[in-house]
């Protein structure tokens, strides 16, 4: 009985994993896929908190898609 339970649990986790990863933000530095090109363009030499500060400093220059993604993230969406 224990082995069956473990196999069912493992199958459930394996089935749920792609969904969880699909919801994670894409791109490096905690950024989003919509901001990947902007981050490379304006802040390529920065990482981590420095990249976030750079993106904030250049927020007026960012693409509309990146601005929308940043606004959605700020609202917790």
Distance CA(22)–CA(42), nearest Å, equals 26
Q: Which helix (H) or strand (E) holds 53?
A: helix 48-57
| Residue-wise pLDDT tens digits, 16-56 | 655 444 444 444 444 579 999 999 999 999 999 999 999 99
Q: Which helix (H) or strand (E) holds 69?
A: helix 64-74
What's this model's pTM, rounded to 2 decimal places?
A: 0.56
Q: Which residues, 6 or more positions from 1, have their beta carbon under 8 angstroms from its beta carbon? A: none
If one counts the domains in the chain, the total is 1
Q: Which residues, 6 or more positions from 43, have their beta carbon under 8 angstroms from its beta carbon? A: 50, 51, 54, 55, 58
| Residue-wise pLDDT tens digits, 1-15 | 587 666 565 666 766
pLDDT at 51: 94
Percent of the chain with pLDDT over 90: 52
Domain that holds residue 65: 2-74
């Amino acid at each position: 009985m224990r082995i069956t339970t473990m196999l069912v649990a493992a199958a459930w986790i394996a089935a749920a994993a792609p969904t969880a990863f699909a919801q994670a933000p894409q791109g490096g530095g905690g950024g989003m896929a919509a901001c990947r090109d902007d981050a490379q363009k304006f802040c390529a030499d920065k990482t981590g908190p420095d990249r976030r500060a750079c993106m904030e400093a250049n927020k007026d220059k960012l693409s509309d898609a990146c601005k929308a993604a940043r606004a959605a993230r700020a609202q917790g969406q």
